[in-house]
Amino acid sequence: MTKEELLEQIESQGIKYIRLQITDINGALKNVEIPSTELESSLTNGTMFDGSSIEGLVRINESDMLLKPDINTFTVLPWTVEREKVGRFICDIHTSDGKHFPGDPRYVLKKVMNEMKEYGYTPYAGPEPEFFILPRDEKTRQPILSPLDKGGYFDLLPIDLGERVRKNMVETLQSMGIRVEAAHHEVANSQHEIDFRYDNALRTADNIQTFKLVVRTIALLNGLWATFMPKPFFGMNGSGMHTHLSIFKDGKNIFYDPNGTYQLSNELRWFIGGVFKHIDTITVLANPTINSYKRLVPGYEAPVNIAWSVSNRSALVRIPMSRGEGTRLELRSPDPTANPYLLLASVFSAGLEGIKNK
């Protein structure tokens, strides 16, 4: 919608406050709240903030920076509806002279997508973020480090608190315009997965950040604690964020070749080659915490070797059986602590280099 239509909608819905959201270099969400009466000015001129106080931005003598809301990311935070409605925009970071800040993770991904556009390519991604739901101490309000249930993969449990909360999370995501495809209990006790439909790389990264906000918020509102820590419990499966990747050109999936071996194209193989060439660097971004490497050990379906397969779920790259428009590769190393903008930027940049150099 146009800026004028958006402002009219916000006024008609009685939305009093707007949160302007960005992601720092570590993948953490940051935001500032402004009255809705200031939104028109923010959309036109940006909102000034102190960039030196956010991890990975600028030095104190360069602190004045601007938030520029992306009009396509507006949504209402559903948990505020019963109180005063609050709207949300995801923003791009600009310097005080109005230029894109090169250290903005969202802008880094946009640059890679623009480079791919020069070749006629549109990158798509679909994540599978996993997380644990834990009980919370009523007095300290901190998580209790023990499982909430004894369930396993795809288990149909008696309707307990964890199951109800996950359903609430799905409903909240759908109300915010994120199309959920599946939700289920994962392998480990108290572990869950919610999958949402693939989209272009930028919208997928935005959706991952919104997903994390929703999961944590809904858990807290229900007296529980959601954690995306990759390996919170020794001897149990950790939480990954398997990421499905494909590229379209002129409306067709370039990874599909009906006459190729396994019906896979050379472009898909070259893409994997580029990813493998740069996997050390990608791993720094896909697995950014010390705890990440407690997950990447043998015996738990997490990859430990640089290999690809059309079936084996322990491979670094797996090719799901779907063909045609659904042909894709699944990178299985990332975990949910990754900054999604930098993760997708690095993987698609490496893959594009692989295609260019064959």
Annotated binding-site residue? 274? no
Q: Which string of DSSP letters, residue by residue, matches 58-100? A: --GGG-EEEEEE-GGG-EE-GGGTTSS-EEEEEEEEEETTSPB
Q: Which of 55, 179, 313, 325 is catalytic?
A: 313
Q: Report the relative pairing of strands 29-35 and 17-23 from DSSP bridges.
A: antiparallel
Residue 85: closest CA among 17, 12, 175, 36: 17
Annotated binding-site residue? 185? no
Q: Which of 19, 94, 104, 130 is catalytic?
A: 130
313 is catalytic: yes
Annotated binding-site residue? 301? yes
Q: DSSP class of residue 297?
A: S
Residue located via tokens 């359903």: 167
330 is catalytic: yes
CA–CA dist 301, 314 (Å, integer): 5
Contact assessment for residue 27 and residue 34, using Cβ atoms and an 8 Å cutoff: no
Annotated binding-site residue? 33? no
Annotated binding-site residue? 171? no
Longest dimension (CA), the chain: 63
CA distances from 349 to 17, 115, 271, 279, 315 (A): 38, 9, 9, 12, 21
Annotated binding-site residue? 197? yes
Q: Which of 206, 257, 330, 335 is catalytic?
A: 330
Q: How many CA atoms lie within 13 A of 169 on its CB side?
A: 32
50 is catalytic: yes
Q: Which of 5, 33, 38, 50 is catalytic?
A: 50
Annotated binding-site residue? 164? no
CA–CA dist 35, 23 (Å, integer): 21
Annotated binding-site residue? 88? no
Annotated binding-site residue? 237? yes
Q: Which of 166, 269, 328, 332 is catalytic?
A: 332
Annotated binding-site residue? 246? yes
193 is catalytic: yes
Query: In DSSP terms, which residues pair with 131 in a beta bridge?
Result: 192
Q: Which of 19, 104, 106, 128 is catalytic?
A: 128
Residue 333, helix vs strand vs coil: coil
325 is catalytic: no
Annotated binding-site residue? 221? no
Q: Which of 19, 242, 269, 328 is catalytic?
A: 242
CA–CA dist 92, 326 (Å, integer): 31
163 is catalytic: no
Q: Which of 104, 149, 163, 193 is catalytic?
A: 193
186 is catalytic: yes
Q: Report the relative pairing of strands 191-196 and 241-249 from DSSP bridges.
A: unpaired
Annotated binding-site residue? 36? no
Annotated binding-site residue? 242? yes
Annotated binding-site residue? 196? yes
Specify binding-site residues: 128, 130, 181, 186, 193, 196-198, 237-238, 242, 244-246, 295, 301, 313, 330, 332
Specify binding-site residues for ATP: 181, 196-198, 244-246, 313
Specify binding-site residues for L-glutamate: 237-238, 295, 301, 313, 332
Residues designated as active site: 50, 128, 130, 186, 193, 242, 313, 330, 332
Specify binding-site residues for Mg(2+): 128, 130, 186, 193, 242, 330
